[in-house]
Amino acid sequence: MVRSHAITQSTYRQDNAGFNLALKAEKHLNGTRRTELTAVTETLHQIAASGALTASRLPALFLTLNRNRQWWTTGPLLSSGQRIEFAGSPLVWQYYPGQGIQLQVLGNFGKADGLFTAGRADYGQLEQLLAQMIPLAAKRGGGMTWEYYFEFDGGRPPWTSAMSQATGLEALTRAFEATGNGYYLDVARQAMPVFTAAPPAGVAVKTALGIRFLQYTFAPSTSIINAFLQTLIGLDDYALESNNPLAMRLFTAGNAEAMAEVPHFDTGAWSLYQPGVEDDLSYHELVTGFLQQLCTMTSAPIYCTTAGHFKAYEKTPPTLQQLTLRARVRKATTLRFRLSKISRVGIVVTQGATATFQTSATFPYGVDHFTIPALKRAGTYGVRLTATDLAGNFTRISGTLQVAKR
For residues 288 and 338, state if they share a domain: no
pLDDT at residue 28, as a whole number:
97
- Residues 165, 48, single domain; the answer is yes
Categorize the per-residue pLDDT at 283 as very low, low, confident or very high, splitting at 50, 70 and 90: very high
What is the C-alpha to C-alpha distance for residues 159 and 148, in angstroms, rounded to an integer? 5
Q: Are residues 66 and 211 in the same domain?
A: yes
The fraction of the chain above a pLDDT of 70, given in percent, is 100
Q: How far apart are CA 292 and CA 308, in angstroms?
A: 8
Q: How many domains does the chain have?
A: 2
What digits encode the pLDDT tens for the residues 233-276?
999 999 999 999 999 999 999 999 999 999 999 999 999 999 99
- Do 304 and 324 lie in one domain? The reply is no
Both 177 and 39 in one domain: the answer is yes
Of 248, 279, 313, which residue sits at a domain end?
313
Cα distances (angstroms) measured from residue 279 to each of 223, 342, 346, 398: 13, 9, 21, 28
* Mean pLDDT along residues 378-401: 97
Tell which of 313, 348, 368 closes a domain. 313
pTM: 0.94
Q: What is the mean pLDDT of residues 34-52?
A: 97
Q: What is the pLDDT of residue 37?
A: 98
Mean pLDDT of 194-201: 98
pLDDT, position 229: 98
For the chain, give the secondary structure using H, E and C.
Answer: CCCCCCCCHHHHHHHHHHHHHHHHHHHCCCHHHHHHHHHHHHHHHHHHHCCCCCHHHHHHHHHHHHHHHHHHHHCCCCCCCCEECCCCCCCCEEECCCCCEEECHHHHHHHHHHHHHHCHHHHHHHHHHHHHHHHHCEEECCEEECCECCCECCECCCECCHHHHHHHHHHHHHHHHHHCCCHHHHHHHHCCHHHCCCCCCCCEEECCCCEEECCCCCCCCCCCHHHHHHHHHHHHHHHHHHCCHHHHHHHHHHHHHHHHHHHHHECCCCEEEECCEECCHHHHHHHHHHHHHHHHHHCCHHHHHHHHHHHHHCCCCCCEEECCCEEECCCCEEEEEEECCCEEEEEEEEECCEEEEEEEEEECCEEEEEEECCCCCCEEEEEEEEEEECCCCEEEEEEEEEEECC
pLDDT band of 56, cuts 50, 70, 90: very high
* Mean pLDDT along residues 206-214: 98
CB atoms near residue 126 (< 10 Å): 24
Q: Determine, yes or no, domain membership for 4.
A: no
pLDDT band at 170 (very low <50, low <70, confident <90, very high): very high
To the nearest 10°, the Cα dihedral for 370, 376, 379, 380? -30
Answer whether residue 199 is part of any domain: yes
pLDDT reported for residue 134: 98
Q: Between β-strands 93-95 and 101-103, what pairing exists: parallel, antiparallel or unpaired? A: antiparallel
Look at residue 121 and tell me whether its pLDDT is greater than 80. Answer: yes
Domain that holds residue 334: 320-404
| pLDDT at position 363 | 98
Regarding whether 249 and 368 lie in a shared domain, the answer is no
**Is the per-residue pLDDT at 406 higher than 90?**
no
Q: What pLDDT score does 6 carry?
A: 96
Is 160 part of any domain? yes
Residues 366 and 279 in one domain: no
pLDDT score for 27: 96
Residue 57, pLDDT score: 98
Same-domain check for residues 270 and 214: yes
Q: Which pLDDT score, from 0 to 100, does residue 218 have?
A: 97
End-to-end distance of the chain based on CA atoms, in angstroms?
79
| Interatomic CA distance for residues 328 and 283, integer angstroms | 43
Pair 328, 242 in one domain: no
Mean pLDDT, the chain, whole residue set: 97
Q: Of 277, 295, 313, which residue sits at a domain end? A: 313
Q: Is residue 129 part of a domain?
A: yes
The answer to whether residues 125 and 271 belong to one domain is yes
pLDDT band at 171 (very low <50, low <70, confident <90, very high): very high
**Measured between alpha carbons, how far is 42 from 77 in angstroms, rounded to an integer?**
20
- How many other CB atoms are found less than 10 A from the CB of residue 255? 22
Q: Looking at residue 347, which CATH number applies to its domain?
A: 2.60.40.10
What tens digit of pLDDT does each residue of 354-371 get?
999 999 999 999 999 999
Average pLDDT over residues 385-395: 98
State mean pLDDT over 181-198.
98
Mean pLDDT of 319-326: 98
pLDDT digits (tens, 9 = 90+) for 145-155: 999 999 999 99
Average pLDDT over residues 52-77: 98
**Number of residues written out for the chain:** 406
Interval 219-240: pLDDT, tens: 999 999 999 999 999 999 999 9
